Amino acid sequence: MSVRDELRYRIEISEPGRLEQSWWRIENTGTPGQVCAALTELATRLCRDLLDSTVGTRVHRLCWFGYRVEGADGTVLAHDEDMVRACELPSVFWTVAATVGDSRATPRPS
């Protein structure tokens, strides 16, 4: 796969219940398969971190998140910015991973 076929992605997530505090900030490039795997891994790690007993009731607190996945030419494949309960974050990123992994994914208006 050439550099032209690589995707660029950026993800930001706030601490549960602390919207001004960064929890995750990731930016990278890779093939669609690599980006799909990275998003799936993020969702899995979020589950693990949220199930950690030290997090406690924070799983129900709001988190701000934003993500953007684009082609090398800047074409936006997936993007969103919203606030959800922390326990909903893994499903957000599993859904994005499925979208990126779908070879029929079409650009969305930005």
Place of tokens 């074409």: 75
Single pTM value for the model: 0.83
Higher local confidence (pLDDT), 54 or 103:
54
**Rg of the chain over all Cα atoms, to the nearest angstrom:** 14
* Residue 56, pLDDT score: 65
* Residue 58, pLDDT score: 75
Q: Are 34 and 102 in contact, with CB atoms under 8 Å apart? A: no
Tell me if 97 is assigned to some domain: yes
**Residue 47 belongs to what domain range?**
3-101
Tell me if 108 is assigned to some domain: no
pLDDT in tens, 32-90: 999 999 999 999 999 888 877 565 677 788 999 999 999 989 999 999 999 999 999 99
* Residue 27, pLDDT score: 97
* Residue 104, pLDDT score: 43
Measured N-to-C along each axis, helices 89-101 and 32-51 cross at an angle, to the nearest 10 degrees, of: 170
Tell me if 44 is assigned to some domain: yes
Count of domains forming the chain = 1
Tell me if 7 is assigned to some domain: yes
Tell me if 109 is assigned to some domain: no
E-state strands within the chain:
7-15, 18-30, 62-71, 76-85
